[in-house]
Amino acid sequence: MAFVYSSTKELDNNTSSPLGLNILADGSKLFYCGKNSSGNPSVIECALSTPWNIASLTITAALEVWANANPPQDIIFFPDGSGFLVAGYNSADKYGLSLYEATTLFSVAGASFVDKTTLSNTQEIRSVVFNADFSKMYCCKYSSIGYPEAIAQYNLSVPGIISTAVQVSAINYDVFDYNRVLSGRISDDGTAFYVLLEGTVGIKKLTLSTPWDLSSYTDDGYVWDDLEGENSLTESAIFLDSGADNLFILGNDNILGTAVAHYIAGEEPPPVTEFWQNFHGQTEIL
C-alpha cells in the first residue's frame, strides 16, 4: 500500500512548528496544537463542512493551554467527547498529559483544566494514542542518546485515568536507525502502528502480530515518503482514518505557514519504462 498526494490546505499563517493532529471519527472536526491569533500556545479546533475534505475546513475555536502545556504536543478526545487530554511540558510537572473538561461535547471552546499527570521527567511526549476503551496508551517520545525510548506502551488499571498508567514495553529509536519519532497513530484493530520519522521524512508501518501489544511488532517498511517533495511542508504530525484510507500530515513552511496535506491510499503509478512495456506488450527496456 502507498499513499498518493491529493491536496494541501493552509490553516494559519504561523510558521512556528505545529504539533499534534487529530480528527473526529466522523471527519467533521480537525484539531491541532499550535498558536492562536495572539501567538499563544493553544489547541485549535477546525470544522469541516464536508467530512474529510480539507478544502472545506475553517478554524472555529482556540483554547490557550500554555500554563499547563508549553508547547502543547498532541490532543485527543475521550470517546464520549466530555473531555480531552493535551500532551505537553511545564516546568513543575515536566512532560505529561493535562486533562480538560469540555463545556460542549467534542469542542475545545470554553473547556476547563482539571489536572495533570506526569509521565516523564526527561523526554517530550510528542504523540499519544489509545485503544477504544482507553485501557491501553501509547506515547511517542522525542529520543536522544541518553534517552532512547521512541514508543512506550502503558496499561491503565482504570481506563481513562492516566494516573493509573504503568509502562509495560517500549521500542527504542535504534529500531528506526536513530531517527526520532515525531508522531504515531495505531489502527482501530490494534494490528498496525504508523510512525512519522524525523530524519527520513517518511512514515513506517509496524505490524503487531498480537493486537495492541507493542512488543509483538515487526517492521513493514515505509508506506509514505516525501522524496518527491509533493508538499512543501516540514512535517510534524500525522493522522490516519479508521480504514487507513486517508492520511493527513500536519506541518509548516515559510509561505503557507501551518498547513495540512491530504493523501489517499492507493498504488503509486509504475515507472515510465514499466508503463510503456505494459502499454506496448514489450519486454525490452525502452
Q: What is the mean pLDDT of the chain?
A: 88
Tens digits of per-residue pLDDT, 44-96? Answer: 999 999 999 999 999 999 999 988 988 899 999 999 999 999 999 877 778 99
What CATH number corresponds to the domain at position 263? Answer: 2.115.10.20
What are the grid coordinates assigned to 257, written together? Answer: 505557514
Altogether, the residues listed in the chain come to a count of 286
Determine, yes or no, domain membership for 286.
no
User: Three-state SS across 52-82?
Assistant: CCHHHEEEEEEEECCCCCCCEEEEEECCCCC
Determine, yes or no, domain membership for 285.
no
pLDDT of residue 199: 73
Determine, yes or no, domain membership for 114.
yes
Determine, yes or no, domain membership for 27.
yes
| Residue 4, Cβ density class (10 Å: 0-12 exposed, 13-18 middle, ≥19 buried) | middle
Instruction: Give the pLDDT band of residue 241 (cuts 50, 70, 90).
Output: very high
Provide the number of structural domains found in the chain.
1
Instruction: Give the pLDDT band of residue 153 (cuts 50, 70, 90).
Output: very high
Instruction: Give the pLDDT band of residue 282 (cuts 50, 70, 90).
Output: very low
What are the grid coordinates assigned to 195, written together? Answer: 510512525
Q: Global pTM?
A: 0.89
Q: Can you give the residue range of the structural domain that contains 140?
A: 2-280
Determine, yes or no, domain membership for 201.
yes
DSSP 222: E
Percent of the chain at pLDDT above 70?
89
Tens digits of per-residue pLDDT, 163-172? Answer: 999 999 999 9
Q: Residue 33's CB: how many other CB atoms inside 10 A?
A: 27
| Residue 58, Cβ density class (10 Å: 0-12 exposed, 13-18 middle, ≥19 buried) | exposed
